[in-house]
Amino acid sequence: MACYSDLKGHSAIVTGADSRIGDAVVRELEAQKMWVTAVPAELPTEEATLSASALADKVRDHLTDVDTVSRTCSQVVGKYGGIDLLVHCAGAQPAVDGPQITDISDERWRGAVVSTMRGAFLWSQGVLRHMVARRRGCVVFIAAEAARNPTYAAGIDYASTRGALTGLARHLAREMGPHGIRVNVVAVADAAAAGVSSLPRLPAYLSWATPPASPAEAARLVAFLASGAAAYITGVCLDAFR
Amino acid sequence: MSDYPELRGKRAVVTGASTGIGEAAARALAAQGVHVAVVAGTRLADAERIASDLRVRAPDSFATRADVTSPDDVRRLFSEIRERFSRIDILVNNAGGLGGAPRRQFLDLPVEEWDRVIDLNLTSVFLCCREVLPSMKEQGFGRVINTSSEVARSPVLPIAAHYTAGKTAVSVFTAYLAREVAAYEITVTAFAPSTTLTAGLKTRFTAEALEAIRTQIPLGRLAEPEDQANVVVLLASDAARALSGTTVDVTGGKITI
């Protein structure tokens, strides 16, 4: 396994840590000996296997609430001296039932826009306030295969809101570059994010039948982007699907 | 002038049509004989004036207003349009922009402004598409044309982060929906304008600022609204029937590859 020794002892916040991708990212960053604050999208349950170093905030709406984001960031800075990395995994997840646009309710659309996009906005704004002051830091957004090469009917709400994060990353890469901060994206395989071997395909669309890249493979790219090995990489999207 | 005889008699809905690129698109479609529902956000009087002009070539054209960020108002809008048009062949989702919000640094951006700009640029496109697609599928024909932006390809500072995120999402939405509805002879495309010399732009930018932008354009001039409208008409026409899912850059060569 690749080891990025410069990550050791640095602190990371991972949102959506209870998603398949989020969980894999937490495990990868802990394996790299980072201090990981795992922020779940939902209230932790008995079964949830959150990181030992988690500061799981027990507020259901914390992912999209300004005060909670700000408080969590301050807690992490207080505990670890700063925030070196944000990985925003939280947000819409791929649907497994092949929904069409007419199946997407007002509430479901709103949920995707708020959790994926407003969440990315609030959490990146929250950590960047601290990163700008230290003149260093790294942000990685988790986007989706559906937003890069739509093959599976994972839902237009999932595809377009995850796709928005590639634009946000490109913008922030330019705005935050002069502050020494890098912002990148990893687009994960839809089936891997959903935890299934395959999803319904979009109509009339042929594709090679390849097994989906695993969450762990996506998580390794996150570690790479966070490390000094990617010091000259900002504003890009790495596609972790085949 | 271009002539697309197959467009004659078709029916289009153009949102954000009371000014700028939307107005130009409505006028260009009507010039081809397309009847247009000219949808304004707030400037209904301007939309009425435009619709009145359009009726010379496209007599069923009319003006209306709607808040395209509101699910209920979008449902009402399409119900109203269906009372006037027997079918909808073309939907141009042009409403968007910053909605009067100032350009701000990312760290100064209030969450309410983020939400508003995302709704105006992205949710509006979703809501209008969701309303129009069932009838397009039934008739086995449709052209959905979304206004994206050059920022979806390459961010332009100091245009704000929410606008860039929203317009990027519009291009992704376009690619995804194109594949979802491809079997119904419906194409979904987008066009991505660079800075375009609309009346609104001329009031917001100084001559010096516009000149600075102009020097970045390989073709040596800023786009006119008609340059964008020409592409809308192309995307609506049979000449573009093999185009779907793509975002066409209309940037005078500023964005390539």
Cα B179 to chain center, whole Å?
20
Residues B66-111: tens digit of each pLDDT: 999 999 999 999 999 999 999 999 999 999 999 888 889 999 999 9
- Say what the pLDDT of residue B1 is: 67
Residues A106-155: tens digit of each pLDDT: 999 999 999 999 999 999 999 999 999 999 999 999 999 999 999 899 99
The structure tokens 């850059």 sit at: B249
For residue A54, the distance in angstroms to the closest alpha carbon of chain B comes to 26
Fold of A5-240: Rossmann fold (3.40.50)
**B126 to A205: CB separation less than 8 angstroms, yes or no:** no
pLDDT at residue A50 is higher than 70: no
Query: Is residue B180 within 8 angstroms of chain A, CB to CB?
Result: yes
pLDDT at residue A231 is higher than 70: yes
Q: Which residue among A164, A172, A203 sits closest to B166, beta carbon to beta carbon?
A: A164
The CA dihedral of A199, A202, A204, A210, to the nearest 10 degrees, is: -40
Q: End-to-end CA distance of chain B, in Å?
A: 28
CATH of the domain at B66: 3.40.50.720
pLDDT at residue A212 is higher than 80: no
Cβ atoms < 10 Å from Cβ of A232: 7
The answer to whether A134 touches A77, Cβ cutoff 8 Å, is: no
For the segment B48-52, the average pLDDT, to the nearest whole number, is 98
Q: For residue A218, how many C-alpha atoms fall within 13 Å in the half-sphere facing its CB?
A: 33
Instruction: Select from A64, A68, A97, A101 the residue whose CB has the most chain B CBs within 10 Å, as the one to mutate to test that interface.
Output: A101
Per domain, the residue ranges of chain A are: 5-240
**Would B104 be classed as within a structural domain?**
yes
- Say what the pLDDT of residue B257 is: 77
Instruction: Select from B150, B168, B174, B188 the residue whose CB has the most chain A CBs within 10 Å, as the one to mutate to test that interface.
Output: B168
Interface of A with B in 198-217 (CB under 8 A): 202-205
Query: Is residue B201 within 8 angstroms of chain A, CB to CB?
Result: no
**B130 to A121: CB separation less than 8 angstroms, yes or no:** no
**Would B257 be classed as within a structural domain?**
no
Catalytically active residues of B are 163
Residues B179-193: tens digit of each pLDDT: 999 999 999 999 999
Q: Hey, is A142 helix, strand or coil? A: strand
> What is the number of structural domains in chain B?
1
**Would B62 be classed as within a structural domain?**
yes
**Would B14 be classed as within a structural domain?**
yes
Tell me whether residue A33 is exposed, middle or buried, using C-beta atoms within 10 angstroms of its C-beta: 0 to 12, 13 to 18, 19 or more: middle
**B173 to A156: CB separation less than 8 angstroms, yes or no:** yes
Name chain B contacts of A105, Cβ cutoff 8 Å: none
Q: Hey, is A118 helix, strand or coil? A: helix
